[in-house]
Amino acid sequence: MTLPLRWGRRLLPVSAVLAFLGLWQWSAGHYPPDQLPSPLDVAAGFRELTESGALFEHIRISLLRFATAYGLAAAVAIPLGLLLGGYAPAGRACDPLLQLLRPISPIAWFPLAVLWFGIGNPPAIFIIFLAAFFPILLATISGVRDVEPLHLKVASNFGAGRVFTFVAVVLPAAFPHVMVGLHIALGTAWIHLVAGEMLGAQSGLGYLIVDARNFLRTDLIIAGMLLVGALGLAINGAMRRAEGVVRRRWGAV
Amino acid sequence: MGGIKIRVDDVTVRYVDAAGHAHVPLDRVSLNIRAGEFLCLLGPSGCGKTTLLNLLAGFLRPTSGSVSIDGAEVTRPDPRHVTLFQEYGLYPWRTVLGNVLFGLQAQRVERAEGERRARAALDLVGLGDAARRFPHQLSGGMKQRVALARALVVEPDVLFMDEPFGALDTFTRGRLQDELRRIRRDRKPTIVFVTHDIDEAAYLGDRVAVMATHPGRIAALLDFPADTQFSRESARFQERRAKVYAAVREAFGEDEPTEDEIEPPVAESPLQELAAL
């Protein structure tokens, strides 16, 4: 028996999810719910969260922090990247420093984040900012440096000045690279959202998970985790669509 | 024909590569190019023809000797002398019209005036209907037409062309060669055209400089009567081809350039095969 291709394509991931849920449900039967709640327990916990309305407040706060930190990172990293990529001496000067700071996980900044910013919003924003900053910065620098020499040659031939060349050639040429950096940063920043919100924040999805742990509500921990995953998936999908628009507009470079 | 437009005086380009080997892409080249003439630089890869063009266009400075246009030494690129490249150099994020407008915007030509001129240039190369399209939606031949319109719109008095039709199929190349002839009749720019295609040089050039390798130099300079009327089927073209081919053979002696270095004069071109019948 053969199914239409479209059905086959849907069926495969759906059956994988069902198998995973089945395995989970079966495993949960062997452990106390405090250690491993079943999918049904988690669904019940999720309903509890939505009914109280607290969940939406947590989501709103998390998205707000995320947008603030991510926006700040883009606002600092893109101009800085344009400067370091476009002005060779600045790039050469800062390169070793960047290479040194880049491999340090935002998690390693935790103690400093708390010392400098206390608890609540600022340290969380700081951690998310760090996670987004480097991917955007490095992509912007390479975008500016990778401008096709021929494109610059043509600009110089037409007598284009430095400012016009920068605005009309370098910026648009670097733009698709910047988009790639923004996309990567979206992923890393979202991953660090939960971590950042574990630093003494009193709200948000990270706090929700920590708080649930304090009350040994394992079902709520897992509900929070799945929610983080689902929101990340949605944000990433939106970003991919935006990137697709840019790619088409830029002739799929 | 007017007086001397471009003067190349005893120019040498020498450099040492990273491995410490000395290279001499151009060795003591002197050449005068007349105003309004069509000069072809013909030779295999490595003969310095593109290096010479880059010197004329101001993208490169000679190690010794000098290049001057209209009596002024060439030290940098100049919008009065526009170069066309084999890879077009179009901006993929700009529409066809936007690409043609580029040079005008760089020179701060007023917008309405610029658009009028850009549309006229697109009409000239037969792309009036493609103004709103993007480069990636165009064929190679259309892209080179856009590049040509972008060059012509700033009304340059010299066109430097670096194997501009090298990436195009024979039919497209033939059509663009004919259009270049037509545009030349209308606008009368001085054209320096780099090619490794003997037929192309014989069809387009008033003069053909045959270049040789190691070191790069001009081995022969063929002077034909200025004529843009003859067809590829004419005896006159056959005669020109034979002369260019003989000069190439002489320049390289028995040590003929290998297949990948220079395109054979016959074959490849269906237009040629038709002409030979």
Residues B138 and B190 in one domain: no
Residues B62 and B133 in one domain: no
| Burial class of residue A150 in the structure, from the number of CB atoms within 10 Å of its CB (0-12 exposed, 13-18 middle, 19+ buried) | middle
Any A CB within 8 A of B106 CB: yes
Q: Sort out which chain B residues have CB atoms less than 8 A from A245's CB and list them.
A: none
For A151, nearest residue in chain B (alpha carbons): B89
**Percent of chain B predicted with pLDDT > 70:** 91
* pLDDT of res. B89: 92
Residues B218 and B133 in one domain: no
How many domains does chain A divide into? 2
Beta bridge partners of B195: B42
**Percent of chain A predicted with pLDDT > 90:** 53
Angular region, A53: left φ>0, alpha ψ -120 to 50, beta rest: left
Cα–Cα separations (whole angstroms), residue A68 to A72, A126, A178, A192: 6, 10, 19, 14
Peptide bond into A32 cis (omega under 30): no
For A164, nearest residue in chain B (alpha carbons): B106
Any B CB within 8 A of A156 CB: yes
Any B CB within 8 A of A149 CB: no
Any B CB within 8 A of A24 CB: no
Residues B58 and B194 in one domain: yes
Last residue of a domain, one of B155, B179, B204: B155
CA triple A151-B111-A161, angle to 5 deg = 40
Any B CB within 8 A of A146 CB: no
CA triple A68-A74-A79, angle to 5 deg = 140
Q: What is the dihedral of CA B262, B263, B266, B271, to 10 degrees?
A: -150
The model's confidence at residue B176, banded by pLDDT at 50, 70 and 90, is confident
The model's confidence at residue A72, banded by pLDDT at 50, 70 and 90, is very high
Any A CB within 8 A of B83 CB: yes
Residues A24 and A121 in one domain: no
Please report the ipTM that was assigned to this predicted complex: 0.83
Strands of the sheet containing B72-73, edge to edge, are B22-34, B4-16, B64-69, B72-73
Residues B100 and B183 in one domain: no
Read off the pLDDT of each residue in B228-254 and give the average, rounded to a whole number: 83
Residues B212 and B109 in one domain: no
Which DSSP string do the residues of B156-196 spell out, in sequence order?
-SEEEEESTTTTS-HHHHHHHHHHHHHHHHHH--EEEEEES
For B151, nearest residue in chain A (alpha carbons): A158
Residues B165 and B263 in one domain: yes
Q: Sort out which chain A residues have CB atoms less than 8 A from B53's CB and list them.
A: none
- Which has more confidence, B144 or B230? B144
Read off the pLDDT of each residue in B167-188 and give the average, rounded to a whole number: 86
* pLDDT of res. B94: 92
Residues B55 and B105 in one domain: no
Q: How far, in Å, CA of B1 to CA of B114, rounded?
A: 31
Residues A26 and A51 in one domain: no
* pLDDT of res. B168: 83
Residues B141 and B96 in one domain: yes
Using CA of residue A51, residue A53, residue A55, residue A60, what is the dihedral sign? positive
Residues 134-193 of B with CB under 8 A from A: 134-136, 154
**A82-124 pLDDT, tens digit each:** 999 988 899 889 999 999 998 999 989 988 988 998 888 899 9
Residues B151 and B166 in one domain: no
Of the residues B80, B91, B158, the best mutation for testing chain A's interface (the one with the most A CB atoms within 10 Å of its CB) is B91
Residues A111 and A181 in one domain: yes
- Which has more confidence, B227 or B267? B227
**A173-187 pLDDT, tens digit each:** 999 899 999 999 999
Residues A45 and A135 in one domain: yes
Last residue of a domain, one of B134, B155, B176: B155
Residues A194 and A94 in one domain: yes
Residues B31 and B145 in one domain: no
Any A CB within 8 A of B133 CB: no
Residues A25 and A114 in one domain: no
Query: Which residue segment(s) compose the domain that B114 sits in?
Result: 89-155
Residues A9 and A67 in one domain: no
**B50-101 pLDDT, tens digit each:** 888 999 999 988 898 889 899 888 888 999 999 999 899 999 999 999 999 9
Query: Which residue segment(s) compose the domain that A106 sits in?
Result: 37-249
| pLDDT at position B21 over 90 | no
Q: How far, in Å, CA of B190 to CA of B176, rounded?
A: 17
> Is the Cβ pair A250, B92 closer than 8 Å?
yes
| pLDDT at position B184 over 90 | no
- For residue B91, give the nearest of A151, A153, A156 by CB distance: A151
Which DSSP string do the residues of A28-51 spell out, in sequence order?
HTTS-TTTS--HHHHHHHHHHHHH
| pLDDT at position B139 over 80 | yes
Read off the pLDDT of each residue in A61-77 and give the average, rounded to a whole number: 95
Q: How far, in Å, CA of A128 to CA of B192, rounded?
A: 57
User: What is the pLDDT of chain B when averaged over all its residues?
Assistant: 84
* pLDDT of res. A232: 93
Q: How far is B80 from chain A (nearest CA, A)?
A: 8
CA A190, distance to chain mean position in Å, is 4
* pLDDT of res. B273: 40
Residue B42 · residue B222 · CB < 8 Å: no
Q: Which of A235, A199, A193 is nearest to A61 (CA)?
A: A193
The model's confidence at residue A216, banded by pLDDT at 50, 70 and 90, is confident
User: What is the pLDDT of chain A when averaged over all its residues?
Assistant: 89
> Is the Cβ pair A251, B136 closer than 8 Å?
yes
* pLDDT of res. B84: 92
| pLDDT at position B23 over 90 | no
Read off the pLDDT of each residue in A158-177 and give the average, rounded to a whole number: 91
What three-state secondary structure class fits A228? Answer: helix
| pLDDT at position A2 over 60 | no
* pLDDT of res. B254: 57
Q: How far, in Å, CA of B123 to CA of B179, rounded?
A: 12
| pLDDT at position A5 over 70 | no
How many domains does chain B divide into? 2
> Is the Cβ pair B106, A151 closer than 8 Å?
no
| pLDDT at position B127 over 50 | yes
* pLDDT of res. B264: 37
CATH number for the domain spanning A243: value is 1.10.3720.10
Read off the pLDDT of each residue in A68-81 and give the average, rounded to a whole number: 95
Residue A28 · residue A36 · CB < 8 Å: yes
The model's confidence at residue A130, banded by pLDDT at 50, 70 and 90, is very high
CATH number for the domain spanning B174: value is 3.40.50.300
Residue B209 · residue B21 · CB < 8 Å: no
Residues B72 and B176 in one domain: yes
